[in-house]
Amino acid sequence: MAAELNSIKDLEYLMEFKLKYPDAMKDFIRHQLNSNTKDSVATLEYFRTLLPSEEIASLVGSLNDHDRLKWKATIGTEKAIIDPSRLMTYIKGEMMKAFIASKPLVDPELLELTLKLKVHDVTRFGEKYPDDCGELLNLLNPAFISKVLDKLDINLAEKFLNAALEGGMPGNKPSSLQSNLKKYLNISQKNSMASKLIKVLEAVEPDKEKMIYAQMLKVSSTDDLIETAVKNCPLEVVWLLPKTALNEVLQAYPLQKKARLLVSLESEIKTILVEASSSEGSSARQMIDMEVKQIEENPQELRRCQAQTALLTLEFLKFLRLHSQSNEQILSDIRLACHIWFSQLSQHSSTAMAA
């Protein structure tokens, strides 16, 4: 039933686009025929499956002889549509490109302002000035739009696409886009401290990291921050890493340093590291347990370790950062953990602002 409802929505979307923008639809079909990729072939098959026969006949009839022959040669080569939802995301993005390609000439100053926008700026501007989002998207070139859509989740991407399709073309009516772009860019340019803070993060104490990243989220691209965090893995991200990644680092970390670190940590964090370092009953676990026991049986050494928790933690963190740079799998794990952590930070910031 859900698949049937989705198909009906997809059909309505395609019919509405064809009705409102027939030239863009024609250009879209031609591009899919000439692309000859797996997605483009699947797109044509999905069209044939969804659209009524008279609509298909109308589409094919609008093509030139060469493209009609390509259509006949292409249809039937893709037997099944495995993931219609993913395919529709591709289709909407490609339709957007075809639509934007036909934009009219606009004020040169406005075009100049759009050239200053980075991918993350489009998202932030759209959230700050939703009424101008559609008009802005109509100004941007297809390749740039693709990059914007690639960085958005499916729900936000759909909102942006709808805004572009429903928004007026630049120059057709009085607009606040130009003045709001100036405001936005002026605000962005004042945030020159952002680049300095990224350098600060390379040497800051772990307990200051969260505060700095939370502030940076307000003025910087999440993508840029994640790349910085991957190189300088925040301490809180360490505890989000999978056991395999922690095991790889802990195996390389000297046994005595490992034991001193463990006795200094709170029980919850200590358990995470112990379980990741080696399996219970293994010889590696026995060696760690023996080393930890020796420290715990020496009150003076135990107090020293507990007093040096911050230092021991930072020492381990620096080792992890250095060790991970030569291991692509650990870097990949850190990147994924950073995405999770930044998502949590963003939600926390939004909740705090709402309160």
Within a domain: 118: yes
Do 87 and 160 share a structural domain?
Answer: no
Is there a contact between 346 and 217 (Cβ–Cβ < 8 Å)?
yes
Do 94 and 118 share a structural domain?
Answer: no
Do 92 and 33 share a structural domain?
Answer: yes
Within a domain: 215: no
Q: How far apart are CA 293 and CA 280, in angstroms?
A: 16
Within a domain: 116: yes
Q: What is the DSSP string of 183-195?
A: HHHHHHHH-THHH
Do 331 and 267 share a structural domain?
Answer: yes
Q: How far apart are CA 66 and CA 48, in angstroms?
A: 19
Domain count, the chain: 3
* This model's pTM is above 0.85: no
Do 333 and 247 share a structural domain?
Answer: yes
Do 262 and 165 share a structural domain?
Answer: no
The residue written with tokens 């802005």 in the block is 136
| pLDDT in the model for residue 290 | 94
161: number of Cβ within 10 Å: 22
Q: Give, in order, the Cα–Cα distances in Å from 62 to each of 6, 23, 55, 185, 338.
A: 28, 10, 11, 43, 49
| pLDDT in the model for residue 333 | 92
Within a domain: 218: no
Is there a contact between 234 and 204 (Cβ–Cβ < 8 Å)?
no
Do 87 and 23 share a structural domain?
Answer: yes
Q: Give, in order, the Cα–Cα distances in Å from 193 to each of 17, 152, 155, 187, 208.
A: 44, 26, 32, 12, 17
For residue 78, the enclosing domain spans: 2-100
DSSP 169: P
Q: How far apart are CA 169 and CA 204, in angstroms?
A: 48
| pLDDT in the model for residue 262 | 94
Do 130 and 50 share a structural domain?
Answer: no
* pLDDT per residue as tens, the chain (355 positions): 334 445 777 887 788 777 767 887 888 898 899 887 888 888 988 888 888 888 888 888 888 888 889 888 888 766 667 788 888 888 888 887 777 666 555 566 776 687 778 777 888 888 888 888 878 887 776 667 777 777 777 777 777 777 777 765 554 455 788 888 888 887 666 555 556 666 677 667 788 888 888 887 776 667 667 878 888 899 999 999 999 999 999 999 999 999 999 999 988 899 999 999 888 889 988 999 999 999 999 999 999 999 999 899 999 999 999 999 888 899 989 998 998 898 888 776 555 544 4
